[in-house]
Structures are given as C-alpha cells and as structure tokens.
C-alpha cells in the first residue's frame, strides 16, 4: 500500500505501524487524513511519536475517526476532565493500587454498540522502558484457527457482562463470537477474557473450556505487538478488531496521559448471518 503524505513503518507482520512525517498539532490536509485512514485500516493500531498535543489537537485527531464517545458509568482507573468529559485522565504513580487494562480486553465490549476506536496520548512515561502496551490482532487470531474450530464457532454468540469491570449498573449484551469488520470485511474474533462470561448456545462447562482456549490463543506472540512508549507518543487502535493489555511494571514511577474514545456506529456484525 502506498501513501502520498506520511511514512508508515510496520512493527510486526500482523499488527501495528509507526506513522511519521506528520504534525498533529496542526489541522491535517485531506491527503494526510486519507493516508492515516488507510494505515489505520491496514495495521489496526497506529502509533505517533514526538507529538506534544494539547486537548484541542487530541480532539481534532479523534474527530477524524468519528463522533467523540463519553464513557458512562464508574471507573476507578480513569477520570473524566470536569469541563471536557470526552477526555479521560489516566495517571498512575506511587499511590496507585491498580492500573487500567491489566487484562487482555476490548474497550467496553459490554455496550450494545462498543466504541469504534481509542486514542491514548501519554505525556509522561516511566524510565527504563516501563509501562508498555500490548496489542493483539483478532484478524490473525481468527485466521490461525483450524477449519474445524472456525466451523464450531460459526453463528455462536457470547454474553458480555460489564458488571465485571464497571459495577452493578453496567450493560449486559450479547455479540457474535465471530464478527465481520464493517470497513475491511475481514472475519475476526469478538470475545475477550475481561467481560465475556459465557457462550450462549452451549453448556457452561463447554463454554468455559472454549473461552479458556480462545483466551490463550489471543495472547500468542505471533499476532501480538508490544509498544514501547516514549514521552508525547500516541496510540490509535481499532476497538473492533484488536485486544490490548497494559503492563504495570513501573511502580512507583509515573505514567500519565489522556484518552479519547470514538463512538461506535453499529453493533458488531455477525460474520455468519
């Protein structure tokens, strides 16, 4: 794939690319926007370095992907800004008892329409390379399943229970186990260890065994990329086809920044309708 205005450096064969030759502090041209969209669709998570953005630039970047999402419900690990609830602060230091996202997950998959994407900007990162984020491609994870397992999962649905992460008032929703991406049309796995409680169409013991197998499968290194943050870096990930996990290896050091999510436009599309 060719790009007219930016540089795109893949980090691994299946997922992740660093984007260069762009200044996110200023409005982007139509060509730059088109190139970023192409890179996002191809690589699922894209990274920018040395971008000292403010809140307005952060929101301007997010609006390139859609309407800004406002997370409803409690969260002990991130806090909305009082005057800009679409921006959430993530700050962890020597007083932190836990951090957000330590388990493999998809953001708010319990919602009837989960967020389309997330954009995380870190201005302060731990020394010595701590605080990495890992991303896993659900395209590659699906493609690597045996034909027999693909046939087994076809048409199944799973219950995503937000109460496990967000408390008693969080939504509970069923989504297809195998979904189809609305832009690329590729098949992907849409279950995660953080919020999925069971597969609906099979006995609970069978469901537990299949979900354990899939959770181990998602985390295989062949389709995982590990991003090493530097100050003023940005990660933009497609919440529809990736999992991610934060590594808390930096206590008592500081990791601090802001996250914006993009509102989803439709529920996950069943791959086998």
231, 255 in Cβ contact below 8 A?
A: no
Active-site residues, by number, are 105, 107, 244, 259
Rounded Cα gap, residues 179 and 105, in angstroms: 16
Residue 197 Cα distances to 22, 157, 160, angstroms: 42, 11, 6
State the pairing for strand pair 79-81/233-238.
Answer: unpaired
- HSE value, Cβ hemisphere, 13 Å, CA-based, for 89: 11
Burial 32-53 (b: 16+ CB within 10 A, else e): beebbebbbbebbbbbbeebeb
Rounded Cα gap, residues 273 and 226, in angstroms: 34
Rounded Cα gap, residues 195 and 175, in angstroms: 12
Phi-psi region of 21 (alpha: psi -120 to 50; beta: other; left: phi over 0): left
């Amino acid at each position: 794939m060719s790009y007219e205005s930016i540089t795109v450096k893949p980090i691994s064969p299946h997922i992740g690319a660093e984007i260069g030759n762009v200044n996110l502090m200023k409005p982007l041209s139509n060509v730059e926007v088109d190139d970023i969209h192409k890179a996002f669709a191809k690589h699922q998570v894209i990274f920018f370095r040395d971008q000292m953005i403010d809140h307005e630039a952060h929101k301007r970047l997010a609006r390139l992907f859609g309407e800004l999402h406002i997370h409803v419900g409690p969260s002990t690990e991130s806090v909305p800004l009082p005057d800009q609830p679409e921006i959430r602060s993530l700050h962890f230091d020597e007083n932190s008892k836990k951090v957000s996202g330590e388990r493999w997950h998809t953001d708010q998959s319990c919602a009837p329409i989960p967020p389309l994407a997330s954009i995380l900007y870190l201005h302060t990162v731990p020394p010595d390379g701590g605080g990495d984020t890992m991303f896993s491609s659900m395209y590659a994870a699906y493609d690597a399943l045996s034909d027999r397992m693909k046939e087994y999962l076809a048409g199944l649905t799973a219950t995503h229970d937000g109460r496990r992460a967000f408390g008693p008032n969080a939504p509970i929703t069923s989504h297809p186990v195998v979904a189809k991406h609305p832009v690329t049309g590729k098949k992907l796995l849409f279950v995660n260890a953080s919020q999925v409680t069971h597969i609906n169409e099979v006995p609970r013991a069978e469901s537990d065994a299949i979900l354990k197998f899939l959770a181990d499968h998602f985390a295989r290194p062949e389709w995982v990329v590990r991003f090493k943050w530097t100050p003023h870096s940005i990660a933009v990930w497609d919440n529809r086809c990736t999992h991610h996990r934060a590594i808390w290896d930096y206590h008592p050091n500081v990791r601090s920044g802001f996250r914006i999510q993009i509102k989803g436009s439709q529920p996950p599309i069943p791959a086998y309708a």
